[in-house]
Amino acid sequence: MAEKKIRIMVAKPGLDGHDRGARILARCFRDAGFEVIYTGCHQTPEQIAAAAIQEDVDIVGLSCLSGAHRYLFPRVVEILKEKGAADITVIGGGIIPDQDFPSLYDAGIKAIFTPGAPLDTIVQWVRTNVQPRNE
Amino acid sequence: MTEEFEGMEQLRKIRAGDVRTASRLIRNLEDELPEAKSAIRRIFPHTGRAHVVGITGSPGAGKSTLVDALIASFRKREKTVGVLAVDPTSPFTGGAILGDRIRMQRHAEDPGVFVRSLATRGALGGLSKAVGDAVHVMDVMGKDLILVETVGTGQQEVEIINHSHTVIVVLVPGMGDEIQAIKAGIMEIADIFVINKADRDGSHQLESELMSMLNMVPEFQGGWRPPIVRIGNCFEPGPFGESLEELAAVIGDHYRRLVETDLLGDRMRRKTMVEIHEALRDAILAPILKEMTESGEMEEIAGRLLRKETDPYTIAAEVARRRLK
Ligand code: B12
Ligand SMILES: Nc1nc2c(ncn2[C@@H]2O[C@H](COP(=O)(O)OP(=O)(O)OP(=O)(O)O)[C@@H](O)[C@H]2O)c(=O)[nH]1
Ligand SMILES: [Mg+2]
């Protein structure tokens, strides 16, 4: 039997062109042995959720540096739930003020990482909290 | 719930086009779970409807951009489309960045389009081992057209021929010795040549070199001489769209020719042969290798080989005598 791998999607919702962090993360997840689907910038929450389902990912990582995370992140969780894919973990990162954390957690975002978060901490979080097929 | 019932339920959902069930089955195939094999047993009788088009060419030739545009033109013709996009697995980490999808994201919400990325996971032919069965899954979902994008290829990655009815080879001008590369392998598998980024210098030279090469072929199977389609700059929507329409039409022509000349049967038989080989290898060879590895026999044989006490052929004959009575 071949090895089961974590499939992760890295996506940038909204009109935010800061893709440096997302690209770095995509590479770092690959180096951790994950299969990474990178969908690029300017994605609507609907596109992100649809792609996550088509790709059968275990986890979606949203990156937002524009300030629109308060609407965009919860919306992705909501659509996944509507489509019967609530088992897909959603995490986020970027420029996110501390005071927004509680409401994002309430909305179902499982973890948030801000500038300076060490890459191995992020990878370790995924390894600890996500199993392939969330079994 | 019994396994049988779950299996029938899975088949029903896939036939109804359920994306989650289909994508999960493809994942089970990638991971080579035992239950994936039973699933393929169940869906196999329902396969054989879709037109499978392979798209291959060197890295960065514009394959994904072309697939994206083809999706749009087949959707205009009211065809449903499945895409299997393969990108390489890193041999060092086992991870992969599957980036083909970026170019196709505008179709993400279209229920008539299903894009699934696959990593090669060590397969050498430019595809993933699961791709043949993944094509079956999309076929049973009812996709009219299945586009399979290979990894960026060199000269040897011609596995795509075993899985498609129509093979498109994408070439770009100004990459140096293009024709050199095509001569060795890729040339023989093309049903359609695309000269991509034809706005660039050298596209006419590439075209005439291709022509003179085709002129040297004494006879074409089914009388189909691979047409050469020039595709303009994708950033100029007008001319790009026009050349895309031409390509979509040529793809349809090729399929009709396959049907008329019964070459379609040939192509399907070719895939079947590969599937039998793979299945036999899994059923016969894999268990033997597994047992020999686990029992330590493999290590022991390696030692004997290194000490030159025997040779691989003698070993193979011995193992065959013992195991395949
Ligand atoms: C580089 C940069 C740019 C570059 C972007 C280049 C590129 N292609 O990425 C350029 C010059 C183009 C740019 C433009 C703009 N920028 Co700018 N930019 C920055 C800057 C200096 C650094 C961002 C960066 O690349 N960091 C490096 C990466 C590796 O870090 P990161 O993305 O934060 O990611 C880390 C974590 O946040 C986390 N993470 C991030 N995403 C995710 C996702 C997941 C799933 C996980 C697990 C973790 C995670 O992990 C990473 C590793 O630690 C920041 C300031 C800052 N210090 O952050 C401003 C900043 C983001 N920019 C800002 C602004 C305002 C703009 C502009 C609007 C400026 C303007 N008026 O034109 C434009 C908008 C561009 C656009 N189209 O969106 C503001 C945003 C303000 C806000 N949100 O309230 C910032 C914060 C500067 C500031 N202090 O005002 N910018
Ligand atoms: N000038 C020009 N650039 C193009 C054209 N088509 C694609 N490109 C660019 O070529 C680059 C690669 O395009 P892709 O479609 O990703 O190529 P690919 O063959 O799928 O690449 P791999 O899957 O990585 O092998 C991108 O930057 C495209 O924007 C074209 O017609 N003209
Ligand atoms: Mg590609």
Ordered by start, the domain boundaries in chain B are: 48-261, 275-323
Partner-chain residue, chosen from B31, B97, B114, that has the shortest CB–CB distance to A54 = B114
Atom of ligand 1 minimally distant from the CA of A125: 47
How confident is the model at residue B176, as a pLDDT?
60
Helix (H) or strand (E) segment spanning residue A120: helix A119-129
What residues make up the domain containing A51? 7-129
pLDDT tens digit sequence for B207-245: 888 888 888 888 888 889 999 999 988 888 887 888 899
B99 CA from centroid of ligand 3 (Å) = 7
B217 CA from centroid of ligand 1 (Å) = 56
CA atoms within 13 A of residue B168's CA, in its CB half-sphere: 30
Q: Is residue A134 included in any domain, yes or no?
A: no
How confident is the model at residue B322, as a pLDDT?
86
How confident is the model at residue B175, as a pLDDT?
67
| Number of compact structural domains in chain A | 1
Give every CB contact of residue B227 below 8 A, 6+ residues apart in sequence.
B192, B193, B250
Contact: A36, B97; criterion CB under 8 Å: yes
Distance from CA of A133 to the nearest CA of B (A): 9
Say which CATH number the domain at A45 has: 3.40.50.280
Angle at A47 between CA A90 and CA B93, to 5 degrees: 55
Q: Is residue A99 included in any domain, yes or no?
A: yes
How confident is the model at residue B15, as a pLDDT?
96
Q: Is residue A29 included in any domain, yes or no?
A: yes
Lowest mean pLDDT of B151-155, B187-191, B286-290, name the range: B151-155
Q: Please state, in angstroms and as integers, the Cα–Cα distance from residue A38 to each residue in A27, A73, B133, B176, following that order.
A: 10, 17, 24, 31
How confident is the model at residue B2, as a pLDDT?
79
- Other CB atoms within 10 Å distance of the CB of residue B266: 13
| Confidence bin at B181 (pLDDT 50/70/90) | low
How confident is the model at residue A64, as a pLDDT?
96
How confident is the model at residue A98, as a pLDDT?
96
Contact: B23, A2; criterion CB under 8 Å: no
Angle at B96 between CA A19 and CA A117, to 5 degrees: 45
pLDDT over threshold 70, residue B1: no
Residue B130 CA to residue B116 CA, distance in Å, equals: 12
Q: What is the mean pLDDT of chain B?
A: 89
Q: Please state, in angstroms and as integers, the Cα–Cα distance from residue A6 to each residue in A37, A60, A108, A121, following that order.
A: 11, 11, 20, 17
Residue B62 CA to residue B73 CA, distance in Å, equals: 17
Q: Is residue A120 included in any domain, yes or no?
A: yes
| Confidence bin at B178 (pLDDT 50/70/90) | low
pLDDT over threshold 80, residue B155: no
Instruction: Give the pairing type, strands A112-113 and B96-98.
Output: unpaired
Q: Which of B55, B56, B64 to mutate to test the pocket of ligand 2 (most atoms within 8 A of CB)?
A: B64
How confident is the model at residue A1, as a pLDDT?
52
Residue B275 CA to residue B281 CA, distance in Å, equals: 10
pLDDT tens digit sequence for B73-109: 999 999 999 999 999 999 999 999 999 999 999 999 9
How confident is the model at residue B180, as a pLDDT?
61
How confident is the model at residue A109, as a pLDDT?
97
pLDDT over threshold 90, residue B69: yes
B115 CA from centroid of ligand 1 (Å) = 30
Helix (H) or strand (E) segment spanning residue B195: strand B192-195
pLDDT tens digit sequence for B124-145: 878 888 999 999 999 999 999 9
Q: What does the DSSP assignment read for B85-154?
A: EEEPPPTTTS-EEE-GGGGGGGGTT-TTEEEEEEE-TT-SSSS-TTHHHHHHHHHHTT-SEEEEEPPP--
Question: Which parts of chain A have pLDDT scores under 70?
Answer: 1-2
pLDDT over threshold 80, residue B154: no
How confident is the model at residue B275, as a pLDDT?
86
Q: Is residue A2 included in any domain, yes or no?
A: no
Distance from CA of B228 to the nearest CA of A (A): 32
| Ligand 2 pocket list (CB less than 6 A) | B 59-65, 100, 103, 152, 196-197, 233-234
Q: Is residue A135 included in any domain, yes or no?
A: no
pLDDT tens digit sequence for B84-94: 999 999 999 99
Domain spanning B48-261, CATH architecture: 3-Layer(aba) Sandwich (3.40)
Q: What is the number of helices (H) and of strands (E) in chain B?
A: 13, 8
